Chain A
């Protein structure tokens, strides 16, 4: 089943999704930097971190809106569905490739973030941020693959996907920002951080399980 993952990795050839996401992130950062105050960083690192997470979520949605695009455009679903492959495997493959795209995007975004926003004041712990992002990515990828499938049923799918996703993004961003920012303050204990990272892991697990179980309903016609 993991062979299906190869299918999606091969689509890197199209070079549609990742550059668009990377550009979007860069543009967002520029926008945010100016919005927060070009000279001195208004709101401090906390505001910037919040915006980082928001940018991550929006960029993810941008990427996800194209998630099933090629299958849809060429009616390829009929071909895939007529094979004996497990429907859940289709979801898993899409989630994995989305995860990869997100990680690549963040690999580009983080250095930029550091450059734009972390040059003043105390920086948050980067390892924690990276861990948090990875866990969050797993959650976004799992849920996103599901929701992209749901949204593709409608004609307004590009608009619908963000709408469907945002309620789920709120807890993610909430904890993501918290775990990152809390590392600035020396009062935050390791337990606290682990607890929050654990939450992100739980989030990913819950929606991975739900995605695995429910995707066949999304795809069966």
Chain B
């Protein structure tokens, strides 16, 4: 396991970053200049084009992490542990953003900083708590196979949590508040839908490029650690 040099192929990280930049630019342009103002909610409704894509990206990141968690448990390949952890970490970042944009949207739409009747917001809150707990777990266990295994196990428990949360909120509602994606989604006209899609793509691209950046950083860390270990053993 020597220190190999990168071959001269286009670095996926840089590529992703470029794509993300382009998409973000397009999305921002569309959100602020292209899309018509919503009749009901006014200008501030545009937050929706940030909030929901970010939220969906968070879920995608979680799914990505969970898939790699399963792969890790089956193969015990340590690189998969990293590939499971990094999306989780990004999920916390995007999750925080979701909560912030959600609060802003709530304030703008309904005048309160949080809306407890919303299925999505509540479900999201639970998932966010889970993300934080994942990190607590990760910080509490020493590095090594055990930490990787436990993280993967907890991530998979989280997979069980998602449907449970959605159902829980739905089943315990006394009144149904239809502030859901469906209302905005199915009823969105062409330009709104397009803007939404572009924004979603932009957020996903952003997540992907951040993933590559973080992975690269972690790989460097790992290499440094390995070099150090070899140096010590040689002494």
Do any beta carbons of A and B sit within 8 angstroms of each other in the complex?
yes
Q: A-side interface residues toward B, CB under 8 Å? A: 143, 146-147, 150-151, 153-157, 160, 163-164, 166-168, 170-172, 174-175, 177-179, 182, 195-196, 199, 202-203, 206-207, 210, 214, 217-218, 220-221
In the complex, what residue of chain A is closest to B130 when comparing beta carbons? A167
In the complex, what residue of chain B is closest to A172 when comparing beta carbons? B168
Q: B-side interface residues toward A, CB under 8 Å? A: 73, 125-127, 129-130, 132-133, 136-137, 140-141, 146-147, 149-150, 152-154, 156-158, 160-161, 163-165, 167-169, 171-172, 174
A199: contacting residue among B73, B132, B167, CB under 8 A? B167
Given A150-B154, A207-B157, A221-B146 in contact, is the A164-B126 Cβ separation under 8 Å? no
Q: What are 30 A-B residue pairs whose CB atoms fall within 8 Å in the complex? A: A143-B157, A146-B157, A150-B153, A150-B154, A151-B140, A153-B140, A153-B147, A156-B140, A164-B137, A164-B154, A166-B133, A167-B127, A167-B133, A168-B157, A168-B164, A170-B126, A175-B172, A178-B172, A196-B172, A199-B168, A199-B171, A202-B167, A203-B164, A206-B160, A207-B157, A207-B160, A214-B153, A214-B157, A217-B149, A217-B152
Given A154-B140, A171-B126, A174-B168 in contact, is the A210-B146 Cβ separation under 8 Å? no
Q: Are B133 and A164 in contact (CB under 8 A)?
A: yes
B165: contacting residue among A157, A166, A171, A202, CB under 8 A? A171
In the assembled complex, which residues on chain A have CB atoms less than 8 Å from the CB atom of B156? 210, 214
Given A171-B168, A199-B171, A217-B153 in contact, is the A160-B137 Cβ separation under 8 Å? yes
In the complex, what residue of chain A is closest to B145 when comparing beta carbons? A221
In the complex, what residue of chain B is closest to A213 when comparing beta carbons? B156
What 10 A-B pairs have minimum CB-CB distances, sorted nearest first? Answer: A171-B168, A154-B140, A178-B172, A167-B129, A167-B130, A206-B160, A163-B136, A199-B171, A153-B141, A214-B153
Complex CA–CA separation, A46 to B165 (angstroms): 21
In the complex, what residue of chain B is closest to A207 when comparing beta carbons? B160
A170: contacting residue among B129, B136, B141, CB under 8 A? B129
In the assembled complex, which residues on chain A have CB atoms less than 8 Å from the CB atom of B133? 163-164, 166-167
Sample of 13 more A-B contacts, CB < 8 Å, known A168-B164, A202-B164, A218-B150? A150-B154, A153-B147, A160-B140, A166-B129, A167-B132, A167-B133, A171-B167, A171-B169, A175-B172, A178-B174, A199-B168, A206-B163, A217-B153
Complex CA–CA separation, A170 to B127 (angstroms): 10
In the assembled complex, which residues on chain A have CB atoms less than 8 Å from the CB atom of B141? 153-154
Q: Are A174 and B137 in contact (CB under 8 A)?
A: no
Complex CA–CA separation, A171 to B126 (angstroms): 8
In the complex, what residue of chain B is closest to A164 when comparing beta carbons? B133
Given A214-B157, A218-B153 in contact, is the A175-B140 Cβ separation under 8 Å? no
In the assembled complex, which residues on chain B have CB atoms less than 8 Å from the CB atom of A172? 168
Given A146-B157, A218-B153, A221-B146 in contact, is the A196-B171 Cβ separation under 8 Å? yes
A144 to chain B, nearest CB (A): 11
B104 to chain A, nearest CB (A): 23
Q: Are B172 and A153 in contact (CB under 8 A)?
A: no
A178 to chain B, nearest CB (A): 4
Complex CA–CA separation, A150 to B157 (angstroms): 11
Complex CA–CA separation, A220 to B153 (angstroms): 12
Complex CA–CA separation, A175 to B174 (angstroms): 11
